Amino acid sequence: MTKEVNLFGVYVAPFVGDLLVAFALFLPLRWLVARLGLFAHFWHVALVELCLFVAVLSFSVYVL
């Protein structure tokens, strides 16, 4: 189990690092999906983006 990270006197959970990694992977993937025009096939784009982020987050937590 990893411990909290002391960031300028504030203890931050290690999950925040997973969130940052997932966000860094999510941005180019979101751009690619938008560039390919795949968002046009969905009714609620924000919900699709949320599901995509959760999938990337779960993948990054599983790998790390």
Distance CA 56, CA 19 (A): 10
The pTM is what? Answer: 0.83
pLDDT reported for residue 14: 86
Question: Exposed, middle or buried, 22 (CB in 10 Å: 0-12/13-18/19+)?
Answer: buried
Structure confidence by residue, pLDDT tens digits, 14-58: 888 899 999 999 999 999 999 999 999 999 999 999 999 999 999
pLDDT reported for residue 1: 57
pLDDT reported for residue 64: 79
Structure confidence by residue, pLDDT tens digits, 36-46: 999 999 999 99
pLDDT reported for residue 25: 96
